[in-house]
Structure formats: structure tokens, C-alpha cells
Chains A and B, each alone.
Chain A
Amino acid sequence: MQAFTTVTGRAVPLMRTNIDTDVIIRIERLTAGEPSTLGTYAFEAWRYLPDGTENPDFTPNQPKYRGAPILIAGRNFGCGSSREGAVHALQGMGLRCVIAESFGDIFFGNCFQNGMLPIRLPDENIQTLVAETNVSEVPCTIDLKLLTITTPSGRTIPFTTDPQRREALLEGLDDIGLTLKYEADITKWQTQDRLARPWVWLPT
């Protein structure tokens, strides 16, 4: 997994609420099985007009936001379907970090599995950030070590993140490798459970 320490660049606002993973990436783009092209199709229903040309009203299409590594979104971002391709599609657009008041739970977990940092921030901080990025060409910096967002005006906004997830992201650690060390605990639990709840254990 790609590690995350700091990211510096433009932050693009997409201030709709409840942006779901279906709109982030259409399911048929996933069944097509070409992960490298997902970035082209991120937000396709909003990003392109019916004739296939770019929709100039879609904020991330504006020249100043092209390739921005940070997305600021309305609350409950990434709700809906569990598709992990939603994270891959955002990464394909060049995003490394999403900031919102809240996130869909499964999407939030999927970000950490893929080196993407989701930051929960109170609405007032989000409003500050959006107001500044709207008028300034100066980039923002997200620092996961210091747990800070530096806004275009140089103001520092602190954020919190789960300590274990932060550690894994900073190091690019793999969960499975860590869990396999507890093999003996798992075996012990299962041995006891076979006696306590035999009905759960299906024949092999």
C-alpha cells in the first residue's frame, strides 16, 4: 500500500451532500475490469455532458482545479455501495485526500486500505477552507505526521485521525500481515467456540 505522509496542492470543493459511490464510479466501469481507466470515469454523470464533452459547471473541471490532490465535499461523502473501485477512481483523478464533515463507513474504511486519507472536519473549518481555496491560487498542505491542514493563507487547521490507522498509513502497512501474527489466538477462540456454539460450525 502507498504510504501517506504529506500532500501539497489545490483543494477542489464539491459541496453537495450525500455524494454516493455509484456517482463516484458507475458499476459497469468496474465490471469492465480495467482499473487503469477508472480515473477517466470518476463522477462521469456530473463531469461530462450527454455528448461526452466536459461539463464546465462541474467544479473539478475548472482549469485551476485540474489534478488537485485534495477534495472537499459535503457531509456523508462516499455513502452507499461498498465498491472499493470508488477509491481507485478518485485516485485515478489524482486525489490523495478527501475532507468532509462525515463519510460513508465502508468508503471510509476502503480509503485506509488504499493509501487515501479521509479527514473528518467540523463544518466551520470546511467553510473556512472552501472560502480560502475559492479565492487563492496558493496550495494547501495536509500533514499526517503533524495532523494539520495548512490553508492558502497559512492558517493551520488541526484534525484528528485514529492512531492505528494513522500509523498504518504513514508506514504503508499491510493489515493482513499484522493479523497473521495472532494465528494462535484465532485458533484458540475457534476451538472454544466449536464447543460453545456447535451450531455455527458448518460441515466442511
Chain B
Amino acid sequence: MQRTLIDKIWDAHVVRDLGDGWVLLHIDRILLHDLSGPGALQDVKARGLKVRNRELVIATPDHAVSSAPGRTGETFAQGARLWAGLKTLSQEAGIRLFDLGQDGQGIVHVMGPELGLVLPGTTLICGDSHTCTNGGLGALAFGVGTSESVHALATQTMRQRKPKRMRIRIDGELGHGVSAKDVILHVIGALGTAAGVEHAIEYSGSTIRSMPIEGRLTICNLSVELGAKSGLIAADDTTFEYIAGRQFAPEGAKFDAAVKHWRTLVSDDDAKFDREVAIDARTIAPTITWGTSPQHAIAIDGRIPDLASEVTSAGRESLVAALEYMGLQPGQPIAGTKIDWVFIGSCTNSRISDLRDAAAIARNRHVADNVTAWVVPGSLRVKRQAEAEGLDRVFIDAGFEWREPGCSMCVAANGERVPPGARAVSTTNRNFVGRQGPRARTHLASPAMAVAAAISGSISDVRRI
């Protein structure tokens, strides 16, 4: 029987068949953060249960902590209780914690791969929908709710039904100014945010194969914006090179044995997928969203859709509501739209390669007078690396604020928000109503496109800068 990569990882983790298509699935890694972690750990305790395998659980604060220079866990007062709760409860349970200011701290989906904690062929969960990011290393990673986290903490398993399998093949060379972020925004624009519902997605094709790991993490990050449970990319030499030498990665003979095993984790040639889609990467332009769903993605030289493009009444109602919220007119070009804010950061685009891309455009230029612009590195290691390369100076000299690692303005659960009515270009993952703050208007784009907007003061084509 020919199997997909998803089947291979899944089948290897079945602890017990529960009938009706349900299995008890072993979970190899549980990531905890300050927003959903303390509640889950508290619940485990309140039920008189124990964290079953504390060595497989990793905690770090990112969501509800300030990113202000010199911040502590108490700088954002409303989050202080969560930060302290994660710290105390993790220490009590003997869980590895990477606290603020400590090497390793960062956005969960940035620090996990960076420390070598995320490995191919593993199953990984976190009480965060962007857990799918970690699929970029060939892990089957998915977001869960707090109740399900409690189950995983107490039993190191989850009750699951195998998702349907979808493959998105992306082939061809990327054009000038086109990054992983543009690719995945283009895919979501083409397929819609419900395309992956009930599926796990394997990304393949020559574009993916030639993409470095950080780009693959960006691709997989937005799988949940396709509605998918998970998104993953088969590990290859690029993956093994990335993992080798990282703090928690296997070493020596153990590493060699792991690589031998990881090489078997690819979809068989005749494996059947429930759905297959092919995308030609050569047609992808720098891409940006205009509306309040990630599927509202268009090429930078494109136009905002007109109402005739929606055939159903529910679809039209959503379109009208999105236009009104965003303060935009149907049929207009997106380029040239004046902006107020730029945010570079989040588990989508805050890794060192993202900051290098951004700095390359920002160098010897300056943020427009009407724009406030922030750079929030994804982890303490990313921050230190960027500083060692002088990227912080590039950003500061260009008029950006250089801040401490965390989720910051992507999740706006930390007092850091785009002001009401203001328009932002963000390298984040969600442009939902109120996502970056009440009445905030978000346009999702790549780091390079975000800098292009920051310096010109309006949505701009990075290829023309």
C-alpha cells in the first residue's frame, strides 16, 4: 500500500485503535506559551493529574508579554499574571522553560526549530493555531485548544481522527522580489481559506525543494489560513543541514541514525491524496491582502475585486463588510493606498532571513513621516544574530523601532496594537477584523514589501524600489 508522508508519520504514532476511525496518537512534543499554557497546567493540577512526560514539554512566554526595550514579564500589567503562571507552573512540573531574557526565549514556533527541538517525523502540538509552522521541518504539527492540551499533558497522547490528505505542488523559479510569504498568500488567494478544512497539506515541488528552511516554515505557518489542520514538507538535505549542530538536535551516530530514518519519510510515488493542486510559481507576483481574510490576497499590481466577483449572498455580504471595514473601494488598484503603520515580526516572518530581507530594502533609506514602523525579532537568538550583523543599526537609522522578541502586534494580546482606524502593513498571518486592535486595518505582506510601504508611506511594489 502506497502511503503519503502524512500517513507514515500518523501510522507510526498510533498507540491504540479506538474504533470508528479514532486513534490514540502519541505526541512527541508539547509547546506551551503564556497565553494558553498556564490555564492548561493549572487544569492538570486542579484535576489531580500530572504532566506525564515533562521532558517532552517546552515552555516560553511570547503572547502576552511586552516587546518594549528593557521589558520584564510585568511591563504589560495585564499579562503579568499569565507570565508568572507559566513560569511557576512550568517550574513546579519540571518543564524546560525559556524565560524572558534567557537564551532560547522567543515566539514558540521560532524558538522550537531554532533550538533543534522540532525534528522530522515527530508529532507536535501547541495551544496555538500556528503550530503548523513546525511542519516546515517535516513534523506533523497542529494547533489545539486548551482542553486538548490538558489531555496531551496528562497522557502524552491525543484522541484523533486522521485528517484527509492534500498535496500542493509548487513548481518553478520565483521572480524578483517574490518570497515564501508571497507564494503562500498567492496560494490562499487562489484556493480560499476553507480549501484545507479537515485536511493536512503536504507542500512539494521544485519551488519548495529549493527553498531554505526559514521559507518553508513561513509556507507551513499559513496552512491554518487555508483551513488545514497541519502543513508539512518532507525533510531533505536542506533540513538535515539546518538541524545539525542545534542545541537539542541529536549528535554523532544518533544523528546519522536519525537521518537514515528521516530519509524514509517521503510520500511514496503512487501515494493517493484526497486532493491535489498544482501552482506555477513563475506566475506569482509580490502579493498583499486588501481585506479581512487572508484569502483577500492580490498581486501588488492588481485591483481590489468588485462585487460581481462574489456569486453567493453570504460571500457578497462578507465582501461588502470587508470593504467597509478596510475603508476601500471595489475595483481600485491596491498600490498607492496610504498607510500609517508597519509591523515586521510574528511566527510568520521574524527569523533572521526575514530581517535580512527587510534590512536590504531599509538600508540607506528612511521611514516616511506619516508612518510608525516596528521590527520585533522572533527570538532572542534572532535578535542577537541581527545585532551581530548590524541589522539593528540599519533599522534604527532608517527610523524603525528595534524591540524585544515576542508576538507583539500580531496577536495584540500584550497592549501593542495598531490604533483604531489606522492602516498597517504587517508581515503577520491574520488580517481579521480587530486582530491587530479594535478597528485596526491590516494588510498582510512579506518583510520586503512591508519595508517598501514603510519608506514610501503607501502600499508599494518592492520591485520598483
Contacts and interface: CB of A to CB of B under 8 A. Distances in A.
B385 to A, nearest CB: 24
A16 to B, nearest CB: 5
Interface stretch (B21-29, B365-373, B447-455): B21-29
B194 A113 contact: no
B151 A175 contact: yes
B432 A23 contact: yes
Given A22-B435, A82-B127, A197 B261 contact: yes
A20 B224 CA distance: 12
Given A27-B411, A28-B78, A176 B151 contact: yes
A106 B227 contact: no
B464 interface: no
Given A110-B145, A198-B254, A203-B55, A22 B20 contact: no
B154 interface: yes
B64 A22 contact: no
A175 B314 contact: no
A79 interface: yes
A180 B250 contact: no
Interface string B117-141: 1010110000111000000000000
A110 B94 CA distance: 27
Contacts of B94: 204
Contacts of A76: 193-194, 197, 227
A16 B438 contact: no
Contacts of A164: 18-20, 22
Interface in B193-246: 193-194, 197-198, 224-225, 227-229
A79 B79 contact: no
A135 interface: no
Interface stretch (B104-112, B155-163, B172-180, B331-339): B155-163
B278 interface: no
A18 B151 contact: no
A79 B159 contact: no
Given A23-B433, A199-B119, A186 B193 contact: no
Nearest to B258: A199
Nearest to A105: B229
A75 B254 contact: no
B433 A45 contact: yes
B72 interface: no
A109 B198 CA distance: 11
Given A18-B293, A105-B198, A162-B161, A179 B155 contact: yes
Contact of B129 (A80, A162, A193): A80
A202 B313 CA distance: 53
Given A45-B433, A113-B145, A182 B24 contact: yes
A172 interface: no
Given A26-B438, A176-B150, A82 B144 contact: yes
Nearest to B53: A190
B317 interface: yes
Contacts of B154: 176, 179-180
Nearest to A102: B197
A185 B197 contact: no
A155 B257 CA distance: 62
Contacts of B438: 26, 45
A199 B249 CA distance: 8
A63 interface: no
Interface in A46-95: 46, 50, 74-76, 79-84, 87
B432 A22 contact: yes
A75 B143 contact: no
Contact of A26 (B117, B249, B434): B434
Given A31-B82, A82-B127, A199 B257 contact: yes
A31 B318 contact: no
Given A18-B295, A200-B28, A186 B129 contact: no
Interface string B431-450: 01111001100000000000
B15 interface: yes
Interface in B312-359: 312-315, 317-318, 321
B69 to A, nearest CB: 22
B45 interface: no
A15 B35 contact: no
B434 A31 contact: no
A106 B163 CA distance: 12
A154 B145 CA distance: 37
A121 to B, nearest CB: 14
B66 interface: no
Contacts of B318: 16-18, 74
B412 interface: yes
A27 B412 contact: yes
Contacts of B122: 200
Nearest to A111: B145
A190 B314 contact: no
20 contacts: A17-B315, A20-B432, A26-B438, A30-B413, A31-B79, A31-B413, A33-B81, A102-B194, A105-B198, A106-B145, A162-B20, A183-B155, A186-B26, A186-B52, A189-B15, A193-B26, A197-B121, A199-B250, A202-B96, A204-B54
Given A104-B227, A185-B16, 7 more contacts: A15-B317, A18-B295, A20-B433, A79-B194, A84-B147, A106-B144, A202-B117
The 9 A-B pairs of least Cβ separation, nearest first, read A199-B250, A113-B147, A110-B145, A76-B194, A84-B145, A74-B314, A27-B413, A22-B432, A82-B129
